[in-house]
Amino acid sequence: MNMKICFATQNVNKVNEIQALLGNQFELVSLTDLGHTEELAETTGTFEGNSQQKALFVYQKYGINCFADDSGLEVAALNGEPGVNSAFYAGEAKNYAANNALLLKNLAGQNNRHAQFRTCITLVWNGEVQQFNGIVKGTILTEQRGTNGFGYDPLFVPNGYEKTFAEMSKEEKNKISHRALAVQQLIVWLQQQAQ
Ligand code: IMP
């Protein structure tokens, strides 16, 4: 059995990573494979809403089962910011240095450093919507440590660990990350459909 499913992302690395975990019962196709080159709209203001908006758009436009993700960092003392604005917190999209600098500035003198990374994956399977949430809780340091990973990784220490995400190997981070936890649930669900 070989079921095609679209992962609504432009990020080929994410597609390859999940394809390897899914095995060959499923054939993942990317937006590029579908010939879709524009960015998908993410305008709902929540991770649940944005991932659903993207997955439903592709399902309706291309008629293929589809899932999409949306992730970000939620900081308790900042009322959940940067949240859905994580990629462009400081303005320009994915300027990680500026985003980290702004986060440190906004937390200056703040003792409550609790934060969590969250991923929501929405799957649209034969028109039915399923959602999977992955959360990893931790704290925000007062200065950056480590050079691996991306985004807020150099500032985030997951609970129960000493190292930041940016000081962990890819393998270490991928065992405990918000994205990994959401993907694991998605995979269990999909593999049940294939039985
Ligand atoms: P996306 O939805 O996976 O594209 O993530 C949106 C933004 O959230 C990224 O541009 C990062 O700023 C932040 N983010 C999401 N996941 C991570 C992570 O694992 N480490 C660090 N930053 C992340």
Give tens-digit pLDDT for 124-180: 999 999 999 999 999 999 999 999 999 999 999 999 999 999 999 989 998 999 999
Query: Any idea of the CA torsion for 97, 101, 104, 106, to the nearest 10 degrees?
Result: -130
- Give this prediction's pTM: 0.94
Backbone angles phi, psi at 7, to 5 degrees: -100, 110
Q: What digits encode the pLDDT tens for the residues 38-80?
A: 999 999 999 999 999 999 999 999 999 999 999 999 999 999 9
Write down the pLDDT at residue 14. Answer: 85
Q: Which of ligand 1's atoms lies nearest the C-alpha of 177?
A: 19
Instruction: Show the ligand 1 pocket: residues with CB < 6 angstroms.
Output: 70-73, 86-87, 94, 99, 117, 149-153, 165, 177
Say yes or no to pLDDT of 1 above 70: no
Say yes or no to pLDDT of 93 above 90: no
Query: Ligand 1 centre from 118 Cα, in Å?
Result: 9
Angle at CA 162, nearest 5°, toward 157 and 168? 70
Write down the pLDDT at residue 18. Answer: 86
Say yes or no to pLDDT of 195 above 70: yes
CA nearest to 42, candidates 18, 63, 81, 68: 68
Residue nearest to atom 5 of ligand 1 (CA): 71
- The pLDDT-based confidence of 92 (bands split at 50, 70, 90) is confident
- Residues in CB range of 88: below 8 A, 6 or more apart: 94, 95, 99
Q: Which two tokens stand for residue 111?
A: 């003792």
Distance of CA 149 to the CA centre of its chain: 13
Query: Ligand 1 centre from 119 Cα, in Å?
Result: 9
Residue nearest to atom 10 of ligand 1 (CA): 87
State how far the Cα of 73 lies from the Cα of 54, in Å rounded to an integer. 20
The H or E element that residue 68 is part of is strand 66-75
Query: Ligand 1 centre from 103 Cα, in Å?
Result: 14
Write down the pLDDT at residue 46. Answer: 98
Q: Give the pLDDT mean for 92-111.
A: 95
Could you tell which of 39, 47, 48, 73 is best to mutate to test the pocket of ligand 1, judged by most ligand atoms within 8 Å of the CB? 73
Show the domains of the chain with their CATH numbers: 3-194 (3.90.950.10)
**Residue 79 or residue 18, greater confidence:** 79
Say yes or no to pLDDT of 185 above 80: yes
Of the ranges 8-12, 40-44, 103-107, which one carries the lowest mean pLDDT score? 8-12
Which sequence positions are flagged as catalytic? 70
Query: Ligand 1 centre from 194 Cα, in Å?
Result: 30
SS3 assignment for 159-173: CCCCCCHHHCCHHHH
Write down the pLDDT at residue 128. Answer: 96
